[in-house]
Structure 1
Amino acid sequence: MPRRMTYRQIADDIAARIATGEYPPESKIPSYSELSQLYSVSIATVQRALLVLHAKGVVYGEPGRGVYVKRHDDS
Structure 2
Amino acid sequence: MPTEGNTVPPRYRYEQIADDLAERIASGEFAPGSKLPSRRELIEHYSVTEPVIDRAMQILRIKGITETLPGVGVFVTE
Structure 2 length-normalised TM: 0.83
CA RMSD of aligned residues (A): 0.9
Structure 2 unmatched runs, 5+:
1-11
2-structure distance, mates of 1:37, 1:20: 22
In structure 2, how many angstroms separate the alpha carbons of the residues matched to 1:14 and 1:69?
10
User: Percent same amino acid at aligned positions?
Assistant: 48
Specify the alignment match of 1:28 in structure 2.
35
Larger radius of gyration: 2
**What is the TM-score normalised by the length of structure 1?**
0.87
User: Alpha-carbon deviations, 1:18-53, whole Å to 9, x = none?
Assistant: 000000000000011100100000011000000000
Q: Could you tell me how far 1:63 is from its partner in structure 2? A: 1.0
Instruction: Report what 2:64 is aligned to.
Output: 57
Report the residue type matching 1:7 in the other structure: Y
| Partner SS for 1:37 | helix
Aligned to 1:19: 26
Residue number in structure 1 paired with 2:7: none
The 1-side partners of 2:63 and 2:45 are apart by 22
